[in-house]
Amino acid sequence: MEKPVVEEPQPTSISHTIVIDPGHQTKDSKETEPVGPGASERKQKDTSGTTGVATGLREYELTLQVSNKLKEELEKRGYNVILTRTKNEGEISCIERAEIANNANADVFIRIHANSDEDSSVSGAMTICQTSSNSYNSNIYAESKRLSVDVLDEYVSATGAIRERVWETDSMTGNNWSKVPVTLIEMGYMSNPNEDRLMASDEYQVKIINGIANGIDRFISGN
């Protein structure tokens, strides 16, 4: 009698690592750091960010709320997820945030922020990456640009927010120090009363995290 054929278990796929950086912290740092590796230009290590004009919610509070929910959603989708910070207190510099992503060899480093403008009527979302001529990490420009486009497109689709642009700039310390694909998303304007209220609401935050997660899915899949 022939022995039954026993199928060998298939190896599980290696989970992709996503590092989420909830922007800002409770206090403005009194110290500075180089804007990029070897740079003479220096910027504050970090700041407390902006404040919602309608809700009074601080940006660092909003970004951690969203980041915690995004972590949960991405883990449901099978990703390995690391947060650069898990509380609002304490100080962590932009370089230290990038180094967490670098040390994890992250597939995606996504930085969560909200915007502000003197004109309270301005609204919309943008993503930010380095330029193709960045002197610190132009080698990951193409991937960072694609990540920025994917996240912004899916974010706008999920939330209905106005699509501003992918802003290419070499002024972002956290982006310049990254050795892995990086984007910073400005989810909306806390200086706009309507958008401020939306971003603070649980219902809209579900749309936010689905949009960002869909963008990461799209980037990882290469579609």
pLDDT in tens, the chain (223 residues): 444 444 444 433 458 999 999 999 998 898 999 999 999 999 999 999 999 999 999 999 999 999 999 999 999 999 999 999 999 998 899 999 999 999 999 999 999 999 999 999 999 999 999 999 999 999 999 999 999 999 999 999 999 999 999 999 999 999 999 999 999 999 999 999 999 999 999 999 999 999 999 999 999 999 7
- For the entire predicted model, the pTM comes to 0.92
- Residue 88: name the closest of 185, 175, 23, 43 by CA: 23
Name the helix (H) or strand (E) containing 100.
helix 94-103
- Quote the pLDDT of residue 90: 85
Query: In which element (H, E) is residue 144 found?
Result: helix 141-159
Angstrom CA distances, 67 to 26, 35, 83, 99, 208, stand at 16, 24, 8, 18, 10
DSSP 140: G
